[in-house]
Amino acid sequence: MGGRGGGGSKEKRWWAVLIMLITSLALELRVQVSGAPQVPCYFIFGDSLADNGNNNHIVSLARADYKPYGIDFPEGPTGRFSNGKTNVDVIAELLGFDDYIPPYATASGGDILRGVNYASAAAGIREETGHHLGGRISFRGQVNNYKNTVSQVIDILGDEHSASNYLRKCIYSIALGSNDYLNNYFMPLLYSTDRQYTPHEFAAALIHDYSQQIKTLYDYGARKFVLTGVGPIGCSPSELAQHSADGNTCDEMINSANQMFNMKLKSLVDEFHGQMVDARFIYIDAYGIFRDIIQNASSYGFTVTNRGCCGSGKNNGQITCLPLQMPCMNRNKYAFWDAYHPTEAANIIIAKRSYRARYLSDAYPFGIEKLANI
Ligand SMILES: *[C@@H]1O[C@H](CO)[C@@H](O)[C@H](O)[C@H]1NC(C)=O
């Protein structure tokens, strides 16, 4: 073997270099083609609008792990409260993730490095919110679960310094508050908050609790925050069924309470920038985007905005979508899938406008795409 002389081994070395070059070029290309995500991880805090399976493991009436939920989702029913993708699924796609963010309930091992979805249906900012529906993971519970994830990230990456260096690049999306209105403040037979607080005081109390959790997330490494406001709950088929004589006119008392919360949430962006100077916050005007969808339905391809695609009773909003119930056929023409939740078609519009604002008012001071690339 040694008898082949120096010339042969030199040639071999050249081949080795060439192969290395080709391999690294191929790797580079593969990364570019599959498109590495714009951020290493995406952490999601929320309610049924974002839940993708956490409540499947909880004793609760707020579950969606049965047909026809997921009828347009490749895996069928997963616990998502829609016919297909949720808003956060679409945002994960836009951010360049090639898989959806796993639910906390089943995320394990290295999965968590892409981020975790902690959202739980019926959950609110307040602890008692949604209790009549059974188990749920409140905002505080979700933040506690996140702390547990952080210690796993530290284990995987080796030390706290590497973990915080990693986590500060990630996006933290928070969309909570709907249930504090739907399944608390505007449910006076079961909850007493409407006797304790005026709508302004209630919004302030929610924002106070919310801020505490944001500060905890910051203490545990979060630096890029998306604060999403609540939608016009007074326009949901459920509230239309209960409060709208013509079944079409939104309940503006509920909507104005929702807007008080949203205004205070938006002003947290500036307040937090003053307190946590190395963090970035953005606010998403889900309320305005959804009102636009309802008011200008035809320009978005919708023909029905006041009824659930699946459900029964007035506005298909008195009884929500039941197991094995037959939903509407033309799901892309409906803004609402059931009594409370948007269809995939509406979720896609909300997600795209959260990612890249269509109107200046959609996102303050800018959308998720820019936050990702800061
Ligand atoms: C509906 O569309 C019109 C025209 O684009 C716009 O001026 C209006 O603000 C939209 N409605 C809502 C609620 O956004």
Q: What does the domain layout of the chain look like in residue ranges?
A: 1-35, 40-372
Write out pLDDT tens, residues 62-102: 999 999 999 999 999 999 999 999 999 999 999 999 999 99
pLDDT at 30 over 50: no
Mutate to test the pocket of ligand 1, among 290, 295, 299, 361 (most ligand atoms within 8 A of CB): 295
Dist. CA 282–CA 361, nearest whole Å: 12
Q: Is 298 a residue of the active site?
A: no
Of 48, 178, 244, 354, which residue is the catalytic one?
48
Nearest CA, atom 8, ligand 1:
292
Residue among 370, 337, 373, 340 nearest 355 (CA): 370
Dist. CA 312–CA 339, nearest whole Å: 9
C-alpha torsion angle, residues 286, 290, 296, 298 (rounded to 10): 120
Query: By CB neighbour count within 10 A (0-12 exposed, 13-18 middle, 19+ buried), where does 332 fall?
Result: middle
Give the count of alpha carbons within 13 A of 130, CB side only. Answer: 27
Q: Is 338 a residue of the active site?
A: yes
Position 20 scores a pLDDT of 56
Position 35 scores a pLDDT of 73
Mutate to test the pocket of ligand 1, among 285, 294, 296, 300 (most ligand atoms within 8 A of CB): 296
Phi/psi of residue 312, nearest 5 degrees: -145, 170
Pairing mode, strands 280-284 and 363-364:
antiparallel
Instruction: Pick the atom of ligand 1 nearest to 294's CA.
Output: 13
Write out pLDDT tens, residues 224-249: 999 999 999 999 999 999 999 999 99
When pLDDT is averaged across residues 208-217 and rounded to a whole number, the result is 98
Q: Work out the number of other CB atoms within 10 angstroms of the CB of residue 102.
A: 17
For domain 40-372, give its CATH number from 3.40.50.1110, 3.40.50.720, 3.90.1170.40, 3.40.190.10.
3.40.50.1110
Residue among 53, 71, 76, 100 nearest 337 (CA): 71
pLDDT confidence band for 3 (50 / 70 / 90): very low
Integer-rounded Cα radius of gyration of the chain: 23
Nearest CA, atom 11, ligand 1:
292
Computed over every residue of the chain, the mean pLDDT equals 93
Dist. CA 294–CA 292, nearest whole Å: 5
